[in-house]
A and B are shown apart, each in its own frame.
Chain A
Amino acid sequence: MKVLLIEDNKDIADMVRLCLESENIVCETTGDGKVGLQWIKEDKFDAILLDLAIPEFSGFDIFRELKKENLLQSNNVLIFTASSVTDQELKEMLSSGAKGVLRKPLSIDDLIEAVEKFHQNGNN
């Protein structure tokens, strides 16, 4: 199973990657939004963890692009965020096609549970 993490904080990124790898899940990470978007288009991931608060090309921008190009249905995008996103916006994103929300600070159990869900439903 392969997961994409788009997150700019190195410590958080390392932690998530180590966590997933211990569960035998491959995790590719990038802190660059545009790069991440490109990887989504080029590659196939079982789940995408999208941090909204990345600089320059933000998670919001990526989400908008995916929505525009109708890539939300075929990809399992999990919104990964701290508190500064409004309830309303989260609801909108979920109804637009995001498949879940993971709050920071992360609960490892929640993370694994969310990702595993797509492992079962997705390919294989």
Chain B
Amino acid sequence: MKKIISIDRVTVLAIAISLTTLLFVGYLSYVNITKFIQENALADRTNLIIQKVIHLASTVSDAETGQRGFIITGKANYLNPYYNAVRDIHSQLQDLAMFIPSNIIKENLKPLTNLIDSKFNELSRTISLRQSHGINAVLPIIQSDRGKILMDKIRTTIDNIQNQENNSLSSESLRLQVDSRTIIDTIIIAILVTSVITGLSMFAINRRIHRHHLDTQRSLQMEVKKRTEELLNANNQLLLANTALVTTERAKEEFISMISHELKTPLVPLKGYAEMLLRPKFMGGAEVTERQKNAIDAMNRSIEKLQALVDDVMDVYKLDMGKLKFSITDTDITKMINEAILELRPLTLNKKIDLVTDIEVNGTVFCDPNRIDQVLSNLIKNSIDFVPDNGNGKIIVRAQKEDYNDSGNNTNMILFTVEDNGIGINPEKADKLFQKFYQIDTGPTRKHAGTGLGLVICRGIIDAHGGKIWVDNNCKTGAAIKFTLPVRGQEDKGKRVQTHESIVDRR
């Protein structure tokens, strides 16, 4: 900022000098013009004076001519010029006195006036004499040269006046010319000086601006460099953090993979042999006894439960770690529900349970079909466990367009319901239902066994899809569990929905 102030100072100075010079030039021009006007006025005046003086001379001359004419001829009309002159002469003299400067008046005009008075006296006397005594009386006076001498003096005086006027005009003129030339030179010099000063100041300003610009540039460059360094540092740190994160994530995934593999591997021969024990070809054609068969069946059931438990535990673990992957597509609603029903139909037929669907919508939902099948199966199996098996049991799977207030979602959702006419769910216990290892009834009289993880997994899956799952408290008899799924993909909600390959196996 300091630099800008000093630019201003120089600029102001330069502008001040330039303006001053211009004003000065203007002033000089004004003076010059005034002098020219003066000179013109002077010249005019001189001309006027000379004109008047000449007119005066001619008036006197006219008077003389009149007198001469009359003296010679004696005729009265020859005196007209004389009378005119007499009449005008004094006013002319007065008029002239107004224009002539006082020193010349003193010198010349006064004597001239006297001379003219004398002359006119002489003329008047001679004329009177001629009138009264005739030409012979007057001739001697005329021949005495007195008149001529006077006239000559008058002419001389008039010439003097003229000369003096001209002289004073010339000297005045000369002086003015010299002054003018000086003024013009001064003006030219002033203009040159102004131009030089303006040029220099422009140059100085320009240089300062340029230097200021360079300084700004330099400081900007340094700033940029500093920022770039900072950014690079930040970037490096981010890379390190990312690498660490990726390593951690990969470690997690590898760990999960390993656990999954280790848990499932022993089950393979366990299940295999258990099944083979029931195959005659393996048993070498020998039939198993009934007791043996019961034992083997029990083993098989146990193994199945263990398998289901391992699958559930792995699902819960993956959900907790955020590592449960989904393969999301547009899934046909009717098809998906029907496939889930199909799998479970044998079970429901066995228990004489009526399993029906009530699908009110067409179209698709945006979900992982295998996982939603898992949810539906889980819910239906729960219902199967809790409905009467005397032939009155009924399970309905519904799909509808969602009412706005059901789950408070903004996007288009489909509402699924699995409801039954079983023993129902205690509203007080309803919200705990989706917690880990919660079971409706526990303890030695447990009729309905399960891992307690199924609903937890359902919640994890539905949440990851951007939907909601809850117990419908409006159900009067039996139980109803509802969940929502989006019709179309939700761009911002699917934090845990990763739309690439799924880890599908849950069998």
Question: Which A82-124 residues sit within 8 Å CB-CB of chain B?
Answer: 82-84, 86-89, 103-109
Minimum CB–CB distance for A25 against chain B, Å:
11
Minimum CB–CB distance for B260 against chain A, Å: 6
A95 CB, min distance to chain B CBs, angstroms: 15
Q: Does B271 lie within 8 Å of A106, measured CB to CB?
A: yes
Would you give the 0/1 interface string for B253-266, flagging 1 where the beta carbon is closer than 8 Å to chain A?
00001001100111
> In the complex, are the beta carbons of B264 and A105 less than 8 A apart?
yes
**Chain B: minimal CB distance from A17 (Å):** 11
Cα A105 to Cα B263 in complex, Å, equals: 11
List B residues 33-63 near A (Cβ within 8 Å): none
Given known contacts A12-B268, A88-B327, A108-B279, is B504 in contact with A82 (CB within 8 Å)? no
Given A19-B276, A22-B282, A88-B327 in contact, is the A14-B264 Cβ separation under 8 Å? no
Complex formed: what's the CA distance from A26 to B45 in Å?
A: 152
Asked if A87 and B268 sit within 8 Å, CB to CB, the answer is no
Contact B501 A82 (CB under 8 A): no
A interface residues with partner B (beta carbon < 8 Å): 9, 11-12, 14-16, 18-19, 22-23, 53, 82-84, 86-89, 103-109
Contact B307 A105 (CB under 8 A): yes
Is the CB of B403 closer than 8 A to any CB of chain A? no
Which of A18, A84, A87 is B260 in contact with, Cβ under 8 Å? A84
A105→B272 contact, CB < 8 A? yes
The answer to whether A15 touches B272 (Cβ under 8 A) is yes
Interface flag for B249 (CB, 8 Å): no
Shortest Cβ distance from residue A36 to the other chain B in the assembled complex, whole angstroms: 19
Q: Which B residues, 476 to 507, have Cβ-Cβ distances below 8 Å to chain A? A: 500-507
Report B-chain residues with C-beta under 8 Å of the C-beta of A107. 271, 275
User: Residue B87 at the A interface, CB < 8 A?
Assistant: no
Give B303's nearest chain A residue, CB to CB.
Answer: A105
Chain A to chain B contacts (Cβ below 8 Å), 24 pairs? A11-B266, A11-B268, A12-B265, A12-B268, A14-B269, A15-B268, A15-B276, A18-B282, A19-B282, A82-B264, A83-B260, A83-B314, A84-B261, A86-B503, A86-B504, A87-B370, A87-B502, A89-B501, A103-B505, A104-B264, A104-B265, A105-B264, A105-B272, A106-B271
Which of chain B's residues has its CB closest to A84's CB?
Answer: B257
CB-based contact A11/B269 at 8 Å: yes
Which residues on the A side are within 8 Å of B264 (C-beta)?
82-83, 104-105
- Give the distance to chain A from B305, nearest Cβ to Cβ, in Å: 13
A23 touches B281 (CB 8 A): yes
Verify B267–A105 contact, CB threshold 8 A.
yes
Residues of B close to A83: CB separation below 8 A: 260, 264, 314, 503-506
For A23, the closest partner residue in chain B by CB is: B281
Instruction: List, in ascending order, chain B residues with CB within 8 A of A86's CB.
Output: 325, 501-504
- How distant is B376 from chain A, measured CB to nearest CB, in Å? 19
**B304 to A, closest residue via Cβ:** A105
With CB as the reference atom, state the residue of chain A lying closest to B264: A82
Complex: A14 Cα to B504 Cα, angstroms: 27
Given contacts A22-B284, A87-B502, 13 further A-B contacts (CB under 8 A): A9-B265, A15-B273, A16-B272, A18-B276, A18-B282, A53-B261, A83-B314, A86-B502, A87-B370, A87-B504, A103-B505, A105-B268, A105-B271
Known: A19-B276, A87-B327, A87-B504. A82 touches B269 (CB 8 A): no
Contacts of A19 in B (CB 8 A): 272, 276, 282
